[in-house]
Amino acid sequence: MALERSYHQDDMLAAFTRLKAIAQRASFPTADERRQCLKRLEAALLRSEASLLSALQKDFGHRAHEESRLLELIPVLGEIKHAKRHLKTWMRPSKRRLHISTLPAKAKVIYQPKGVVGVISPWNYPVLLCLGPLIGALAAGNRVMLKVSEYCPETNKVLREILDRALGENWIEMVEGEADLANRFSLLPFDHLLFTGSTSVGRIVMRNAAENLTPVTLELGGKSPLLVAPSADLSDTAKKLVFGKMLNAGQTCVAPDYIMCHADQKQTLIEYIKQELLAYYPEGVLSPDYTSLINPRQLDRLQGYLEEAGAAGIECDNLMSQGPAQSDGKLALHVIHQPTDDLRVMQDELFGPLLPILLYSDLEEALSYIHQRPRPLALYLFTQQTEDQRLCEARIVSGSLVINHTLVQVAQADLPFGGIGASGMGAYHAEEGFRTFSHGKSVLSKRGKNILALLRPPYRRPIHRFMAKFWRFL
């Protein structure tokens, strides 16, 4: 049974040791065993919908049930259904070709569970980013230890009930505790470790994992630009921008972090954004559908960015003048006009309702700006020209590229999710998630004559003189 009390290092080590022993005894769960785990998880999740929505509301201070369902429950259920549907295909060994010198023989790659997988999940999507990696790890046949965020205690209570009911101690252990416990968690000798969070903490996790040569998947964040091409439909751009930026009050790793547009587009785009915000939130931050920031620390951080920009002479505007600039842990969307690169608002991932706007003179200048900075987790391009899409596909390396929309790539069960460089390492979701949590073991089966025996010493025989002339054609 999962522990109800606070964890200590000895508790975690004991839990890890127990799961490791189970993984060694049952090292290759069948497809049916894995599918049953996913079915039970799905059933428990559906049964606990009301409890989860209520818990998320409490942890955030305010978050509409409809938003939590859209952002967390629907994508998780989609991933479970996709994994159940494709599991047997993913598990199927893949046949490989052999060099002529090895024939007659056969070769294949089989996908084995790695063993015990560690998952460190963040607070901003405490259901999706906890259960999403779990689905891939279970599909691959692993046992899992979850370190959940201490900022979501009510959600954690419901998650514990769901996981105990669906999986139990033979498959999973859930760990709760502060940051120091998370640090010790990442020092355990997992067979794979997945971390979702900030780039700075990701470096610490990777350093800790290196102590045990533990392979890692890092889902970080960074600054995901929204590039408005000259041909973009500005009304549609504003609609998609407000959708992706304002869900969860911008507390999303793939939310558009800053806009790049032409000077001629700027004012029109801002007016369209204001119209959309008014339609979404008629009472501004007082609207019942506007999500709170998770805690006062996050609000103070964002206000600090605004104060620093203001002190530097950068204009900052509240785009939600239909209400106060802030109320009860909520902060209105502020646009920051052409901030300089030395400001924190252009160095840190914003993770909230702040929106810098940068201007470019031509698209080449914009692409060069993005290319010279750390590789983003997502790039959002709004354009009506196919050539613009081709340029972004070829020139910008990013975790994902989304054309004429925002955020929707995360909820696609058949697309991998992951960053590159400062925005992450590795991917999960879909078949890529199954591969991440599996070891692809090569298997070569030899029968019949050994052709290579013809090439044994002594090396002065005719066959070797032949090989010296014709080896490059083999």
Contact between residue 328 and residue 263 where contact means Cβ atoms under 8 Å apart: no
Active-site option among 219, 261, 276, 349: 219
- Least Cα distance to 294 among 331, 241, 257, 348 occurs for 331
Beta carbons within 10 angstroms of residue 343's beta carbon:
17
Is 130 labeled as catalytic in the residue annotation?
A: no
DSSP 8-state assignment for residue 373: S
- Least Cα distance to 21 among 170, 199, 207 occurs for 170
Is 253 labeled as catalytic in the residue annotation?
A: yes
Beta carbons within 10 angstroms of residue 60's beta carbon:
27
Q: Which residues of 228-251 are buried (b: 16+ CB within 10 A; e: fewer)?
A: bbeebebeebbbbbbbbbbbbbbb
Crossing angle of the two packed helices 49-60 and 31-47, in degrees rounded to 10: 70
The arrangement of strands across the sheet holding 354-360 comes to 316-318, 334-337, 354-360, 258-262, 225-228, 378-382, 400-403
CA dihedral (73, 78, 79, 80) positive or negative? positive
Active-site option among 37, 152, 253, 261: 253
Q: Is residue 36 classed exposed, middle or buried when 0-12, 13-18 and 19+ CB atoms within 10 A define those classes?
A: middle
Amino acid at 311: A
- Least Cα distance to 177 among 159, 200, 192, 156 occurs for 156
Residue with tokens 């998947």: 217
CA distance 404 to 381: 6
State both tokens at 113. 């569970």
Q: 420: which strand partners? A: none
- Least Cα distance to 434 among 122, 39, 146, 89 occurs for 89
What does the DSSP assignment read for 47-108?
Answer: HTHHHHHHHHHHHHS---HHHHIIIIIHHHHHHHHHHHHHHHHHHSPEEE---GGG-SEEEE
Active site residues: 219, 253
